[in-house]
């Protein structure tokens, strides 16, 4: 009886999401080790309510570097229990290369950027599974790269533009030459 009562307290909500958003949710569910999408959304809902509450109380919700915290006299910290254990290992299959001019992440174990992978998949109409098989990459790495691309698309496109400008300034032609 009690169980039935609890069940009846729940309301099913249906939302329309893009394929990229669903991929992101699936990846987060996997990475945060939450049991279901419902658990994931509950965590997101809790964080969102906290932020709304702070804003309604007339406070600002900001993000600062850890070492800057010492300069603040008073602050409240948002805790997301599922995120804390992985905070130092956000991406499992991607890696930064600070000595490179590109700031986007690279595929761990390959000298290949996320952009190079994504644009190659687009050019050849490859699914994540097909790309993984064709390029000898773990499928999880390709999926993680897809999520990173969705989140950091602006950076990747900016770096492609920067590369183009660099090449054009250096006299490298990128347009098809007239057919001889």
Q: Round to whole Å and give the CA distance between 35 and 21.
A: 18
Q: Is 32 in the site for another protein (CB under 8 A)?
A: no
Among 74, 88, 116, 145, binds another protein (CB under 8 A): 116
Q: Is 155 in the site for another protein (CB under 8 A)?
A: no
Q: Is 129 in the site for another protein (CB under 8 A)?
A: no
Window of 8-16, 19-27, 29-37, 134-142 that interacts with another protein by CB under 8 A: 134-142
Window of 17-25, 59-67, 72-80, 153-161 that interacts with another protein by CB under 8 A: 153-161
Q: Round to whole Å and give the CA distance between 113 and 96.
A: 10
The smaller minimum CB distance to another protein, of residues 90 and 100, is found at: 100
Q: Is 174 in the site for another protein (CB under 8 A)?
A: yes
Q: Distance from CA of residue 154 to its chain's centroid? A: 12
Q: Is 163 in the site for another protein (CB under 8 A)?
A: yes
Q: Round to whole Å and give the CA distance between 45 and 84.
A: 17
DSSP structure class, residue 101:
S
Bridge partners of 94? 107
**Cβ(149)–Cβ(119) below 8 Å:** no
Cβ within 8 Å of residue 103, ≥6 positions away = 96, 155, 159
Q: Which residues bind another protein (CB under 8 A)?
A: 100-101, 109-113, 115-116, 119-120, 122-124, 133-136, 157, 160-161, 163-164, 166-167, 170, 172-177, 179-180
């Amino acid at each position: 009886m009690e169980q039935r009562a609890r069940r009846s307290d729940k309301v099913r909500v249906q939302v329309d999401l893009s394929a990229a958003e669903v991929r992101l949710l699936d990846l987060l569910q996997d990475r945060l080790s939450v049991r279901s999408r419902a658990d994931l959304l509950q965590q997101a809902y809790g964080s969102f309510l906290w932020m709304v509450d702070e804003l309604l109380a007339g406070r600002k919700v900001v993000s600062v570097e850890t070492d800057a915290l010492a300069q603040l006299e008073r602050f409240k910290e948002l805790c997301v229990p599922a995120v804390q254990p992985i905070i130092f290992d956000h991406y499992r299959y991607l890696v930064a290369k600070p000595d490179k001019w590109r700031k986007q992440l690279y595929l761990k174990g390959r000298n290949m950027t996320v952009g190079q992978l994504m644009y190659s998949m687009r050019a050849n109409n490859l699914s994540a599974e097909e790309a993984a098989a064709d390029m000898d990459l773990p499928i999880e790495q390709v999926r993680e790269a897809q999520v990173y691309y969705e989140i950091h698309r602006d950076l990747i496109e900016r770096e492609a533009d920067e590369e183009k400008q660099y090449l054009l300034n250096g006299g490298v032609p990128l347009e098809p030459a007239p057919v001889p």
